[in-house]
Amino acid sequence: MEKIVKEYNSWLKENQNFILHLKNHDSSLYTRIMPLYEVLNFFSSESEENGLEFNDDIVKIFQVGLEYFHSQVDVCKIYLEKVFKKDFHAFLKYDMVIGYILYLEDLRYEIKENKLKLNEEKINELTDYLENIMDTLQAVPDTINLYIDSEVHKIIDVSKLNFHSIIDIFVDIAETLEINLYSESEFVIGEDI
């Protein structure tokens, strides 16, 4: 078990600055990967600090989470380097577009896993459309979310697909572990601060 935790910690050490930059800039990409980050950190910390023994379920969660987390961060870093020439602030202007590209890959995977018919041409066109926005540094349309949603409905009848992505699974795992992913400060009017 030590091996997988060491592998994660080593990978995290190489990528933590990038992840924290996403977090500090309130990037939607950080919101996307945060459940993975928090759950893997929880297990890593529990293993190192409290001697948590990993059973088969935890090993599987850790392996799947690490592989998926690794791929998500790698894709983001490739876009940062290749499209935005390592200009992090330019990259952030398109974080929503990159998030949609990652979502489409998740959708493609789920459709294939569920052995449903995939309109490969349509999903490729949509991915090309999003990549073109970045490649040409176009302004991101205000209605991009509506457009993506309508195009996804043309790719697959969402009522036939029980789409529960790895991100969703890690949100569920975080809830089970009582990790508060979305804490908000509550302010009471009239209360002394």
Please give the residue range of the domain that contains residue 125.
2-176
Whether 190 maps to a domain, the answer reads no
Whether 185 maps to a domain, the answer reads no
Q: For residues 113 and 109, what is the distance between their CA atoms, to the nearest angstrom?
A: 6
Whether 113 maps to a domain, the answer reads yes
Whether 191 maps to a domain, the answer reads no
Per residue of the chain (193 residues), what is the pLDDT tens digit?
Answer: 678 899 999 999 999 999 999 999 999 999 999 999 999 999 999 998 888 888 999 999 999 999 999 999 999 999 999 999 999 999 999 999 999 999 999 999 888 888 888 888 999 999 999 999 999 999 999 999 999 999 988 887 666 777 788 999 999 999 999 999 876 544 445 544 4
Tell me how many domains the chain contains.
Answer: 1
Q: For residues 44 and 34, what is the distance between their CA atoms, to the nearest angstrom?
A: 15
Whether 111 maps to a domain, the answer reads yes
